[in-house]
Amino acid sequence: MNKFWMITLGAIAAIIVLSNLGAIAALAISALILYAGVHYYLRSTATAGKIWWGFVAAIGAISAISNVPALIGVAAAAGLWMIYQKWNDCPAAFTETKDPFVNFENQWNKLNK
């Protein structure tokens, strides 16, 4: 993929992430509520405690499921991260190595031309 398309896709992904930033924050809060509900549900011994923390976990799960725009934003953030990784993996036009034999072969090829 050439750099023009990486820049274009990166800009689109960045716009999507920024536009869904509030929904992503709401998803993080609802995931935290879900985690707390499940954590305290597993630790409670009383029946009333289990019912309460199960209710809290259910509210967190419903809130997390209803955040579809946040899932799109998270997918765009993952795509942005993959574009960033791909950008850094692009080889440069000319890279010198520390191996003296490779440099010798390059210089020998230049002399023979």
- Amino acid, res. 102: V
pLDDT value at residue 25: 94
**Which residue positions in the chain have pLDDT lower than 50?**
none
The whole-angstrom separation of Cα 54 and Cα 29 is 17
pLDDT value at residue 90: 56
- Residue environment code for 52-91, b if the CB has 16+ CB neighbours within 10 A, otherwise e: ebeebbeebbebbeebebbebbbebbebbeebeeeeeeee
Whether this prediction's pTM lies above 0.75 is answered by no
The whole-angstrom separation of Cα 77 and Cα 103 is 41
The domain limits of the chain are 3-112
pLDDT value at residue 85: 87
Q: How far is CA 56 from CA 23, 34, 42, 97, in A?
A: 20, 7, 13, 59
Q: 100 in helix, strand or coil?
A: helix
